[in-house]
Structure 1
């Protein structure tokens, strides 16, 4: 997957999450989750764009770790929504799968870069 494809994919992920949060109930607890989820999901894409502009391997790794943290946090909030039953599980399935795949991509990329750097 190219950088541009992953930029597009992370932006689409952000947009899908933003559409989801519009469907959530308006309660005190859901507002907390909505706020956290919207922030973390949109942060995945914005921080990935910063990864693509990294000027060194160290900067690349540092920024990609932030992306990984945000993707993992997003997955956590989606799981909370699922367990609270605020949204039909079928509506969450794609986002849960996508967040899991994004986490896996970022973990794999970090391992590859770290292995390459450690073998020098």
Structure 2
């Protein structure tokens, strides 16, 4: 009887191992296709994320370039505006000087102003 009892204790772990192995094999057969599909989805998602990150980096570089070009155009615009303001000040000063010249006696003020401005333009355009 002692020998029979020892075989029972030996058979129980063997049966448990067999059942565990059979359960693992059945689980693998059932869940392997699902795991493979999920791994494929994960790989596609990672590839898409990398592509999106690359596109985002390119867009960021383009935005930085556009901002730099816009800043340069704004700086050039300010320089041109300062030059235009300087030229306008000179023209305004010349116009004020012409307007302050007294018109000849007996001549219409508008006609005198027209002649004075025409003379000023002729002087400016003469090299």
Q: TM-score normalised by the shorter chain: which range applies?
A: under 0.3
Higher helix share: 2
Higher RCO structure, 1 or 2 (CA under 8 Å, sep 6+)? 1
Q: Which TM-score applies when normalising by structure 2?
A: 0.24
Structure possessing the higher radius of gyration over alpha carbons: 2
Q: Which TM-score applies when normalising by structure 1?
A: 0.26
